[in-house]
Amino acid sequence: MFKRHPLLKYYLKKIVTYIVTIWGAFTIAFFLFRLMPSNPIDAWVKSLERQYSVKIDRGSELVDYYKEQFGLNGTLWEQYVRYLYNTFVKFDLGPSFINFPTPVQELLLARLPWTLALMGISILIAWVLGLLIGAAAAWFRTSPVSGWLTNISIVLSQIPPYLIAIFLVLFLGYTLKLFPTRGAWDAQYPVGLNWNFIQSVLWHSILPASAIIITSLAGWILSTRSLIVTILGEDYLMYAEAKGLSPWEIMTRYALRNALLPQTMGLALTMGFMMSGQLLIEMLFVYPGLGELMSRGIQVFDYNTMMGIIILSIFSVMTASLIVELTLPVIDPRIRKEIMS
Amino acid sequence: MAEQNLKTLLTLKNLNIWYATERGESKAVNGLDLEILRGEIFGLAGESGCGKSTLITGVMRLTKLPAHVQSGEAIFHASRENGQEQVVDLLKLDPGAMRPYRWRNISYIPQSAMNVLNPVLKVEDQIADVIRAHSSMSKKEAQARIGDCLEMVGLSKKVALMYAHELSGGMKQRVTIAAAIVLKPDLLIADEPTTALDVNVQRVILQELTDIRERLGLTILYVTHDMAVHAQLSDRVGIMYAGGIMEVGKTSDVLSEPLHPYSQALVEAIPDIGGERRRIEGLPGAVPSPLNWPPGCAFHPRCKRMLPICQEKRPDLRELKPGRLVACHLYQ
Amino acid sequence: MRFLLSCWRTNSKFRVGIIILAVLIFIALIGPIIYTPLLKGNSPARPGSFARWMPPSLEHPMGTEGLGRDLLADYLAGLGTSLTIGFISGALATFLGITVGFFTGYKGGWVDAILTAIANMWMVIPAYPVLVALAMVMPTINIYTMSIVLALFSWPYSARTIHAQIVGMKQLSYVEMAKVSGQGDMAIIFTEIFPNLIPYLFMGFAFSTVGAMVSEVGLEAIGLGPANIVTLGLMINYANQWTAYSRGLYHLLLIPVGLLVLIFMSITLINRGMEEHVNPRLQTKTEK
Ligand SMILES: Nc1ncnc2c1ncn2[C@@H]1O[C@H](COP(=O)(O)OP(=O)(O)OP(=O)(O)O)[C@@H](O)[C@H]1O
Ligand SMILES: [Mg+2]
């Protein structure tokens, strides 16, 4: 059957890889955490002991009760099977420790919009700008401006966003006092769909968003530029020029259009990585997204919350790349051909 | 075809196209003179590396660094819509000003069609864009015209809706031919369009080109190292060596009675049509490097009939008898 | 080596990068000579060695900081440890990556399939949370354990690059020729494949080094690194804790951030220079 339907075989293979990779990554992450010489209850008990200078009986009923609540009872193997089942069948990530007994998935859902809005919009802005600037840099590749732009981008693209963020905080936040540096909105306004609140949210997002845009913009400029420079050297571009098409048409219909495909795929993958990629920025700006949730979770070694964030991240990365892989043969005739042959 | 009635279409005068290399200027096209007449198929022959493609990109104004047009003229007699003729020097035009002449007046079939089609656009779109750029045809007319041209080169109309990767090498080459004739240009420049194809396809395509010339009255500048192809196709041939023209004449004359010692060696070496590129037998030494042409006649180190003057003075391309030009001291 | 030399000769980015990095390494190397006399027998990391917030003086050229440590010593020692962690971890990751990439790329088949699948699983786990957690529970963390932990999370990248290169190279005619002529695997790897991979090894190393340092600084900057080793990341964290901005102590932040930016910049330039050398199309040099 697969002989006659190579496309079907391709799709099946990708979907199986998707499931297996998610499962594998989940398993690795689970054991990484469980094998660490600490767990939330122990950490909590220890901190209580330290705080009140008392000795707590590790075998007491109370401790056992909490262990059960957090899925820490039984052998490691039992814990794994139970967690796997709860996660993928019941979509239940267990209670959080930082906000007991709120389930982790509820915490994640509350934080997700902030991360999605801040990261998603910044990444999208950077992508569009990067595509346009990169295309211009490729088109005018012999001009010194393009050379400098590229050199600056090369350096910027490798500087971690949080260092840029520190600079921004320092100069625009503290020295010039232009923008707020903490939180997502001004506490004096009620949360809701009112103009003051929205304005305050936008205002607060400027610094963290700029930090993300600056670093990822540099990367998009570089990749677009090198893609288009390669395309400009292709025979079909020389042919398009021989045909006497306008430079604008050559740039848009021949160069940019051919670069758009790989760059859109790149965007999808970046969006997948955004959950985990910019956690530090959120921590630095005390932005109420997943990153800040994680930094709180880690301090008390909150397994469930940390695993929740990791699973969400694994899931979004894998789903983004699955979408890319499944749509590629639909939109690119060359890839379809490759699969078919 | 009676030559005296033919008007000049393109005249190249003292054309020099050089490549700037680390070791100095490589003079790939070196003081070349050539005249192409309206309505003929002019064959340009010469060994690999003698500068044929460089010449064409120069005339098409497609030279890219490190290649650059050093000097020379390319006087072109472009026909305009009102039936008038307009004379321009293509090499003096601004890059933007060249655009209206492209494809309307001069179209091009590239040396290898493997990669000249945009992989993400349909064949139709890639021919339609040129129609849109240079004429006021409606979409319907354009589509009909594309279909006609595809059929003229022996393809089905359905090819219009296909992508490059769905076509074989021969089909791609035919698509580029169809694209080249879609606006009925004055001059069609074909740079070895059939070298990548197998002999049978090659033969059919050559036949189709001849037919197309008859039907549309095009002028074709056909470039190939393959003398057997010229014998079948060209009205006149020019023999090129070391970036210059050595001899020009009616194909039958040149083949039956080559005058220049280089042409003689070339004609002797003619294999069957589409045969392997054969090394020209009986010529001592190697093709000299364009970085450093021999002084005087560039052919003298390999020439069996060299005269003392050949080392000192470069011979002009002179008309021996009507329509027969040779650049050789033996005849001057 | 020949590869590096020809990069040096032909590429100005590479030269600039190497010079900056060499200067930084030199400073880090002579650091102990400068700061040992200043510390009067204390280790750079030991808090409370001196009075806090002393202004610059002959004894403490840059003054002391909020934990009573000599600031100059902090920076010099921090530069050294940050570079060391980066290089050790970069080398480890490259080594792991090469081994896996080589093996899977060359052998192919199910070994390749399984190892590649594991590398892919490893790569989609967000490294950051795990790193932070590990850093928190490691009972004794030092430069070396830290480097190992960082390397564990960056090897799949170099494995991938090497893998792709090898798969591409295997199809090259000269490798096929060698196979047909009956050369052994090892002979082919070392005579035909390895020499052509060298540029990619260097690039992988530079890439992993930057990666490790980025994660290291990230960990430290939010205060989750080991507090018993001074690194540039830790200095950034202290600067934040001491609210350097609001007190106008900008240099506390600018010096470590600036040093890190210099390091990243130099390695990036070196990497880019090598890439341009291998693939001249990327060059930004303006044509005449
Ligand atoms: N990019 C370049 N840099 C330097 N010299 C070049 C370059 N491209 C071509 N040349 C030189 O220019 C000369 C002419 O090349 P050209 O491609 O025009 O030859 P050709 O006659 O079309 O050959 P073929 O029959 O193989 O297509 C050659 O000697 C070649 O060495
Ligand atoms: Mg050629």
CB of B110 less than 8 A from some CB of A = yes
| Candidates B63, B106, B116, partner chain A, best to mutate (most A CBs within 10 A) | B116
| Alpha helices per DSSP H over chain C | 2-10, 12-39, 71-107, 109-124, 127-137, 143-152, 155-170, 173-180, 185-188, 194-221, 232-241, 250-278
Using the CB atoms, write b or e for A230-257: b if 16+ within 10 Å: bbbebbbbbbbbbbbbeeeebbebbbbe
> Quick check: is B3 in a domain?
no
Which helix (H) or strand (E) segment is B239 a member of? Answer: strand B236-241
- CA triplet C103, C106, C107: central angle to 5 degrees? 75
Which residue ranges make up each domain of chain C?
2-170+198-287
Which band of pLDDT confidence, cut at 50, 70 and 90, is reported for residue C33? confident
Q: Is the pLDDT of residue C149 over 60?
A: yes
- CATH architecture label of C2-170+198-287: Orthogonal Bundle (1.10)
The number of beta carbons lying within 10 Å of the beta carbon of residue C85 is: 28
- Residue range C38-47: average pLDDT? 68
Q: Is the pLDDT of residue A55 over 80?
A: no
| pLDDT computed for residue B3 by the predictor | 47
Which band of pLDDT confidence, cut at 50, 70 and 90, is reported for residue B1? very low
Q: How far is the CA of C6 from the centre of ligand 1 (A)?
A: 27
Average pLDDT, chain A: 83
Query: Are A29 and C118 in contact (CB < 8 Å)?
Result: no
CB of A150 less than 8 A from some CB of C = yes
What does the alpha-carbon distance between residue A28 and residue A314 come to, in Å, rounded to a whole number? 12
CA distance A39 to chain B (A): 54
- The region of weakest confidence among A63-67, A254-258, B289-293 is A63-67
- Residue range C75-98: average pLDDT? 89
Which band of pLDDT confidence, cut at 50, 70 and 90, is reported for residue A178? confident
Q: How many beta-carbon pairs below 8 A join chains B and C?
A: 3
Sheet containing strand B324-326, strands side by side: B106-109, B187-191, B219-223, B41-45, B236-241, B244-250, B324-326, B318-321
pLDDT digit string, tens, across residues B118-132 = 888 889 988 998 898
Which helix (H) or strand (E) segment is B326 a member of? Answer: strand B324-326
Higher pLDDT, A334 or A24: A24
Query: Are C267 and A158 in contact (CB < 8 Å)?
Result: yes
What does the alpha-carbon distance between residue B148 and residue C219 come to, in Å, rounded to a whole number? 68
> Quick check: is B253 in a domain?
yes
Q: Is the pLDDT of residue B174 over 90?
A: no
DSSP state at residue C12: H
Q: Is the pLDDT of residue A54 over 50?
A: yes
Using a 10 angstrom Cβ sphere, with 0-12 exposed, 13-18 middle and 19 or more buried, the burial of residue A308 is buried
| pLDDT computed for residue B243 by the predictor | 87
CATH number at residue B103: 3.40.50.300
> Quick check: is B161 in a domain?
yes
> Cα dist. B332→A155, A199, B296, B312, C94 in Å?
66, 89, 14, 15, 72
> Cα dist. B140→A287, B103, B134, B136, B147 in Å?
57, 20, 16, 11, 11
Is the shortest distance between the CB of B54 and ligand 1 below 6 Å? Answer: yes
Q: Is the pLDDT of residue C121 over 60?
A: yes
| pLDDT computed for residue B196 by the predictor | 67
What does the alpha-carbon distance between residue A210 and residue A218 come to, in Å, rounded to a whole number? 12
User: What is the amino acid identity at position B75?
Assistant: I
| pLDDT computed for residue C112 by the predictor | 80
Q: How far is the CA of C53 from the centre of ligand 2 (A)?
A: 75
- Are the beta carbons of C256 and C242 closer than 8 angstroms? no
> Cα dist. C106→B204, C95, C118, C162 in Å?
46, 16, 17, 10
- Global pTM reads 0.79
User: What is the amino acid identity at position B195?
Assistant: T
- Are the beta carbons of A153 and A241 closer than 8 angstroms? no
Q: Is the pLDDT of residue B291 over 70?
A: yes
Residue nearest to atom 31 of ligand 1 (CA): B49
- Residue range A210-235: average pLDDT? 88
> Quick check: is B26 in a domain?
yes
> Quick check: is B238 in a domain?
yes
Q: Is the pLDDT of residue A20 over 90?
A: yes
Average pLDDT, chain C: 78
Please tell me whether residue C81 adopts helix, strand or coil conformation: helix
Which ligand places an atom closest to the C-alpha of B242?
A: 1
Atom number in ligand 1 closest to CA B289: 29
The radius of gyration of chain A from alpha carbons, rounded to an integer in Å, stands at 25
Query: Are B116 and A238 in contact (CB < 8 Å)?
Result: yes
- Interface confidence, given as ipTM, is 0.82
Residue of chain C minimizing CA distance to A230: C281
| Candidates C118, C121, C124, C260, partner chain A, best to mutate (most A CBs within 10 A) | C124
CA distance B137 to chain C (A): 40
Q: How many beta-carbon pairs below 8 A join chains A and C?
A: 136
Which band of pLDDT confidence, cut at 50, 70 and 90, is reported for residue A2? low
What is the full DSSP assignment across B52-96?
HHHHHHHHTT---TTEEEEEEEEEEEEE-TTS-EEEEEGGGS-HH
- CA triplet A189, A193, A198: central angle to 5 degrees? 60
Percent pLDDT > 70 in chain A is 96
| Candidates C13, C125, C261, partner chain A, best to mutate (most A CBs within 10 A) | C125
- Residue in C247, A236, A170, C91 with CA at minimum distance from that of residue B179: A236
Percent pLDDT > 90 in chain B is 8
Which band of pLDDT confidence, cut at 50, 70 and 90, is reported for residue C287? very low
Is the shortest distance between the CB of B48 and ligand 1 below 6 Å? Answer: yes
- Residue range B181-193: average pLDDT? 87
Q: Is the pLDDT of residue B97 over 70?
A: yes
DSSP state at residue C190: I
Our measurement of the distance from residue B45's CA atom to the centroid of its chain's CA atoms, rounded to an integer in Å, reads 9
Which band of pLDDT confidence, cut at 50, 70 and 90, is reported for residue A45? confident
The tokens describing C160, both together, are 């991938």
Is the shortest distance between the CB of B27 and ligand 1 below 6 Å? Answer: no
Most confident by average pLDDT, A241-255, C174-188, C230-244:
A241-255
| pLDDT computed for residue C288 by the predictor | 31
- Sign for the CA dihedral angle at B301, B307, B310, B315 comes to negative
The tokens describing C226, both together, are 């080991």
Is the shortest distance between the CB of B66 and ligand 1 below 6 Å? Answer: yes
Phi-psi region of C41 (alpha: psi -120 to 50; beta: other; left: phi over 0): left
> Quick check: is B42 in a domain?
yes
Q: How far is the CA of B55 from the centre of ligand 1 (A)?
A: 10
Is the shortest distance between the CB of B50 and ligand 1 below 6 Å? Answer: yes
| pLDDT computed for residue C179 by the predictor | 67
- Residue range A202-227: average pLDDT? 89
All chains having 3 or more CB pairs closer than 8 angstroms to chain B:
A, C
Q: Is the pLDDT of residue A274 over 70?
A: yes
| pLDDT computed for residue A124 by the predictor | 92
Q: Is the pLDDT of residue B279 over 60?
A: no
Which ligand places an atom closest to the C-alpha of B46?
A: 1
Percent pLDDT > 70 in chain B is 94
pLDDT digit string, tens, across residues C243-276 = 666 676 777 888 888 899 899 889 888 888 888 8
Q: Is the pLDDT of residue C63 over 80?
A: no
Backbone angles phi, psi at C4, to 5 degrees: -65, -40
| pLDDT computed for residue C173 by the predictor | 60
Q: Is the pLDDT of residue A310 over 60?
A: yes
- Residue in A58, A65, A55, A61 with CA at minimum distance from that of residue A42: A58
Helix axes C71-107, C109-124, angle to 10 degrees: 150
Q: Is the pLDDT of residue B73 over 80?
A: yes
> Cα dist. B199→B194, B229, C103 in Å?
9, 11, 45
Q: Is the pLDDT of residue A290 over 80?
A: yes
Percent pLDDT > 90 in chain A is 11
- Residue range A136-160: average pLDDT? 86
Per residue, the 3-state secondary structure of chain A, as one string, reads: CCCCCHHHHHHHHHHHHHHHHHHHHHHHHHHHHHCCCCCHHHHHHHHHHHHHCCCCCCCCHHHHHHHHHCCCCCCHHHHHHHHHHHHHCCCCCCECCCCCCCEHHHHHHHHHHHHHHHHHHHHHHHHHHHHHHHHHHHHCCCCHHHHHHHHHHHHHHHCCHHHHHHHHHHHHHHHCCCCCCCCCCCCCCCCCCCHHHHHHHHHHHHHHHHHHHHHHHHHHHHHHHHHHHHHHCCHHHHHHHHCCCCHHHHHHHHHHHHHHHHHHHHHHHHHHHHHHHCHHHHHHHCCCCHHHHHHHHHHCCCHHHHHHHHHHHHHHHHHHHHHHHHHHHHHCHHHHHHHHC
* Count of domains forming chain B: 1
Query: Are A154 and C286 in contact (CB < 8 Å)?
Result: no
Residue of chain C minimizing CA distance to B68: C288
> Quick check: is B2 in a domain?
no
Which band of pLDDT confidence, cut at 50, 70 and 90, is reported for residue B213? confident
- Residue range B313-321: average pLDDT? 86
- CA triplet B135, B141, B147: central angle to 5 degrees? 110
Q: Is the pLDDT of residue A275 over 70?
A: no
Most confident by average pLDDT, A189-193, B264-268, C166-170:
B264-268
- The region of weakest confidence among A182-196, A233-247, B240-254 is A182-196
Which band of pLDDT confidence, cut at 50, 70 and 90, is reported for residue C7? confident
| pLDDT computed for residue A217 by the predictor | 93
CATH tag for A113-289 (out of 3.20.20.60, 3.40.120.10, 1.10.3720.10, 2.60.40.680) = 1.10.3720.10
Q: Is the pLDDT of residue B37 over 60?
A: yes
Is the shortest distance between the CB of B18 and ligand 1 below 6 Å? Answer: no
| pLDDT computed for residue A289 by the predictor | 85
| pLDDT computed for residue A25 by the predictor | 92
All chains having 3 or more CB pairs closer than 8 angstroms to chain A:
B, C
Higher pLDDT, C169 or A123: A123
Which ligand places an atom closest to the C-alpha of B55?
A: 1
Residues forming a β-bridge with B244: B241
CB of C218 less than 8 A from some CB of A = yes
Our measurement of the distance from residue B72's CA atom to the centroid of its chain's CA atoms, rounded to an integer in Å, reads 18
CA atoms within 13 A on the CB side of C40: 7
- Residue range A160-167: average pLDDT? 82
Please tell me whether residue C61 adopts helix, strand or coil conformation: coil
